[in-house]
A and B are shown apart, each in its own frame.
Chain A
Amino acid sequence: ETGVTQSPTHLIKTRGQQVTLRCSSQSGHNTVSWYQQALGQGPQFIFQYYREEENGRGNFPPRFSGLQFPNYSSELNVNALELDDSALYLCASSANQGSRNEQFFGPGTRLTVL
């Protein structure tokens, strides 16, 4: 059974650019959630996708957007990057919208915005 994978591992962008981060969910999981973890902070919920539809969103602006594909992999897109977007971006997959089920986290993508 393959766990949650994310790519790339590290990324450096400049302010104003756009970035796409990718996540492959664990086998059998139909739900993917994205989190932003700033240095020294806990993860902050960005949004969740369930069966290719956005199922919930945290307090993030519209320039944070996402997709989920038929194989339940997912992308996080961030437009017009700002310095404060520098963080570790975590993807987590779960079965059936999470409910009481465990979310399995990937290793994250470290984004640095210069």
Chain B
Amino acid sequence: AQSVTQLGSHVSVSEGALVLLRCNYSSSVPPYLFWYVQYPNQGLQLLLKYTSAATLVKGINGFEAEFKKSETSFHLTKPSAHMSDAAEYFCAVSGRLSGGSYIPTFGRGTSLIVHP
């Protein structure tokens, strides 16, 4: 069984401020973890993924996330927010189906609001 909890349905920051989006996961097996971004009226785009290599994962657009097994967390950060970062962000944990494929379970999402 696997699940994801995203703390805070909305996060508001000023342009140039630190972005921190929180994600805690539950998984009965070593997890693969993902962050996706969704802009209005668009599909999801992968920001970064953790697949048991380095615990600090760097992604696109200046985002990074750190896998902390002891805290079962995979928080997403960006040092300086840009107006174009305003979007919906989804954390996902991937578990293996019996057929061998990996299907992500998504959190409910966090809406990032960036103020000028």
Interface residues of A (CB under 8 A from B): 4, 31, 33, 40-45, 48, 50, 55-56, 58, 90, 92, 97-100, 102-103, 105-108
Contacts and interface: CB of A to CB of B under 8 A. Distances in A.
B43 A48 contact: no
A98 B102 contact: yes
A56 B101 contact: yes
A102 B49 contact: yes
A56 B109 contact: no
Given A4-B43, A41-B108, A90-B43, A33 B103 contact: yes
Interface size class of B (residues with CB under 8 A): 20 to 34
A33 B105 CA distance: 13
Chain A contact surface mostly: loop
B61 interface: no
B44 interface: yes
B84 interface: no
Q: Which 3 A-B pairs have the closest CB atoms?
A: A42-B106, A105-B43, A97-B101
A9 to B, nearest CB: 9
Nearest to B111: A40
Contact of A40 (B42, B104, B107, B108): B108
